[in-house]
Amino acid sequence: MMKKNSTCFSPDNLSSGYKVTGGVGHKMLAWALAAMCLAGFSSCESKHQKLQQQIEQRKAALEHKQDSTLTAAQEEIQRLDSLLQQVKSEYEQKRRAAEAAHEAGTGTEEQFGEVNRLRQLRDSLQVRFDTECAKIRYVKRRINEG
């Protein structure tokens, strides 16, 4: 039977503060406590190893995600760049024609509407292009940090 000894620490007391009395020997109890501690330690160590494996898996997944995001953003930039150049060229051409028609007094509402639509499309594509460029800069900075 075990009783709490609150007076002092002595060889009869174990680290938990309990004193062994009765038929159970100190050595047997000490071995049992040591076995429990070792089992707890190996359990903690295996949990630590599992945690380390999970951390490594997450790092690998993050690298994969960053690489795929970077690749997708670069492909999107290429697509947006060619489309933006095409729209810019068409916008400039139609803008000049609309200005010339306006000066001559022959400009139509449809012609000016087309120029406005192309300007909106150009500006929208430019914003998307700038956003993708910022995304690439951010991902590259994160890759260099980590």
pLDDT in tens, 122-131: 999 999 999 9
pLDDT of residue 123: 97
Asked whether 84 and 146 are in contact (CB, 8 A), the reply is no
Contacts of 99 by beta carbon, 8 Å cutoff, 6+ apart = none
- With DSSP H G I counted as helix, E B as strand and the rest as coil, what are the percentages for the chain, rounded to 5? 80, 5, 15
Local structure of residue 71 (DSSP, 8 states): H
pLDDT of residue 33: 72
Query: In 104-141, which positions are buried (b, 16+ CB within 10 angstroms) versus exposed (e)?
Result: eeebeeeebebbeebeebbeebeebbeebeebbeebee
pLDDT of residue 135: 95
Local structure of residue 22 (DSSP, 8 states): S
pTM of the full structure: 0.62
pLDDT of residue 26: 65
pLDDT of residue 6: 45
12 torsion bin: left (phi>0), alpha (psi -120 to 50), beta (else): alpha
Domain count, the chain: 1
pLDDT of residue 44: 76
Q: pLDDT under 50 in the chain at which residues? A: 1-2, 4-11, 13-14, 20
Domain carrying residue 15: 2-145
| Structure-token pair, residue 81 | 């760049």
